[in-house]
Amino acid sequence: MALIVQKFGGTSVGSIERIRKVAQIVRETWESGHRLVVVVSAMSGETDRLLRLAYELSAEPHEREMDMLLSSGERVTSALLAIVLNEMKIPAQSMTGRQVGIKTDSVHTKARIASISSERLTETLQKGIIPIVAGFQGISAEENVTTLGRGGSDTTAVALAVAVKADRCDIYTDVLGVYTADPNLVPSARKLDQISYEEMLEMASLGAKVLQTRSVEFAMKYKMPVRVRSTFSTDPGTLVTEEEKRMEHIVVSGITLDKNQAKITVQDVPDKPGLAARLFETISSQSIVVDMIVQNVGQDGLTDISYTVPRSDARKAERLAAQIASEIGAGEIKIKEDIVKISIIGVGMRSHSGVAARMFSTLAREGINILMISTSEIKISCLIDEKYSELSVRALHEEFQPETRGTLHEG
């Protein structure tokens, strides 16, 4: 008998029919003798609908009120699922983030979990009742409702799995598992049977939204096995787990595309020590995350500095750059928003050389210009024009796919 956390995403609870289907899965797990905690997302499209309502009333709604509003979607599905389970004579009780003791910091709309007091959840389990938890939400020290950022129900699920010491966490979604690239973008993408925490973390943070980055961080830190699988199939899905020796044969495990990118260039920065530090200190003090940075070779004592920020922060970042530029006597600010970041990820890159060259020549063959590059031990990212989004993912998938084929199922 295992203790399992099951999380069902938006599409999986997208209609009354689908909520019934989810109830069947919960019933089967329960009837086979396992104990379980269920976490649900809002019905698909609901969080976006609530966002639109708020923006109809205000261009900059207070973030505290946004959290109150957005957290309601998950409460609806948790109650509906509990209602149908009770109808099936299965003891279940809906619970909010606060009721399951999820305490967060006070950064509204992108709060981070600070601690979980799981006594009530444990008591509920001991009574033989299945807790149906509203995902994506918690409570701040000031007792305000907070939400965990888009896709945050994944993080609720993994964090609760860690808190109740579950045997594993199953993430039920609308695809069969984690693929070599977004299967909705690359029809030839292949499902991975297994992926390491490290690679999954890179894939999530570089744009694969199948798991929220924070949920993978929790899983990796506490070594919680996570299985990504489909609500609509019995396929075993993808196991996210510790790296195995055999995984090193696979050079590239995944290709991701991140569209939340903007590039800012500060022209004619005086080539003197301390100016770059001043620019980036100001940006980070405003909680804007700078990703890639390139400084051109200086000419006549002047240099250009380009960097990328999330597109959602682009306007704010542009304002800050203009302010610093005038203080330090730099030139014009240029901003480019029609760009994307394409990345290839794989632990096998540690032991295989020449992967970067293959990536660059594949892009060159398609006539795709690289604007910026960044690398780590297990990933290479290139910034390119947005119009090449699909072409680049497909071309790189074609180039590297043979490496995954055949070695993937090695024993």
Q: How far is the CB of 383 from ligand ASP (least distance, A)?
A: 26
Q: Is 78 in the site for ligand ASP (CB under 6 A)?
A: no
Quote the DSSP letter at residue 299: B
Q: How far is the CB of 364 from ligand ASP (least distance, A)?
A: 37
Beta carbons within 8 Å of 10's beta carbon, 6+ residues apart: 41, 42, 43, 44, 45, 46, 47
Q: What are residue 113's DSSP bridge partners?
A: 104
Longest dimension (CA), the chain: 79
| Binding positions for ligand ADP, 235-254, rule CB under 6 A | 254
Q: Is 151 in the site for ligand ASP (CB under 6 A)?
A: yes
Find the part of the chain contacting ligand ADP (CB under 6 A) among 6-14, 23-31, 298-306, 376-384: 6-14
Q: Is 177 in the site for Mg ion (CB under 5 A)?
A: no
Q: Of 29, 47, 146, 265, which lies in the binding site for ligand ASP, with binding defined by CB under 6 A?
A: 47
Q: How far apart are CA 401 and CA 87, in angstroms?
A: 48
Binding pattern for the stretch 93-132 against Mg ion, x by CB under 5 A and - elsewhere: ----------------------------------------
Residue 30 near residue 88, CB atoms below 8 Å: no
Nearest residue to the partner ligand ADP, using Cβ: 9
Encoded tokens for 313: 């922060």
Encoded tokens for 380: 């290479």
> 163: helix, coil or strand?
helix
Q: What are residue 147's DSSP bridge partners?
A: 137
Q: Is 9 in the site for ligand ADP (CB under 6 A)?
A: yes
Q: Of 136, 197, 307, 400, which lies in the binding site for ligand ASP, with binding defined by CB under 6 A?
A: 136
Q: How far is the CB of 236 from ligand ASP (least distance, A)?
A: 23
| Nearest Cα residue to 316 out of 331, 330, 303, 335 | 335
Q: Of 100, 121, 133, 208, which lies in the binding site for ligand ADP, with binding defined by CB under 6 A?
A: 208
Q: Of 181, 195, 305, 382, which lies in the binding site for ligand ADP, with binding defined by CB under 6 A?
A: 181
Residue 175 binding result from ligand ADP, ligand ASP, Mg ion, none, given CB thresholds of 5 to 8 Å by partner type: ligand ADP
Q: Is 346 in the site for ligand ASP (CB under 6 A)?
A: no
Q: How far is CA 243 from the centre of its chain?
A: 20
Q: Is 41 in the site for ligand ASP (CB under 6 A)?
A: yes
Q: Of 152, 177, 346, 348, which lies in the binding site for ligand ASP, with binding defined by CB under 6 A?
A: 152
Q: Is 138 in the site for ligand ASP (CB under 6 A)?
A: no
Beta carbons within 8 Å of 71's beta carbon, 6+ residues apart: 96, 97, 134, 136, 137, 145, 147
Quote the DSSP letter at residue 110: S
Q: What are residue 40's DSSP bridge partners?
A: 8, 134
Q: Is 135 in the site for ligand ADP (CB under 6 A)?
A: no
Alpha helices in 164-308 (DSSP H): 197-205, 213-222, 275-285
| Count of H-run helices and E-run strands, the chain | 12, 20
Find the part of the chain contacting ligand ASP (CB under 6 A) among 95-103, 147-155, 319-327, 337-345: 147-155
Residue 304 near residue 269, CB atoms below 8 Å: yes
Encoded tokens for 79: 């109650």
Find the part of the chain contacting ligand ASP (CB under 6 A) among 123-131, 146-154, 202-210, 277-285: 146-154
Q: Of 169, 210, 266, 355, which lies in the binding site for ligand ADP, with binding defined by CB under 6 A?
A: 210
Q: How far apart are CA 310 and CA 149, in angstroms?
A: 14
| 11/213 with CB nearer ligand ADP | 11
Residues interacting with ligand ADP, by CB under 6 A?
9-12, 41, 151, 173-175, 178-179, 181-184, 203, 208-210, 254
Contacting residues toward ligand ASP, per CB under 6 A:
9-10, 41-42, 47, 73, 135-136, 150-154
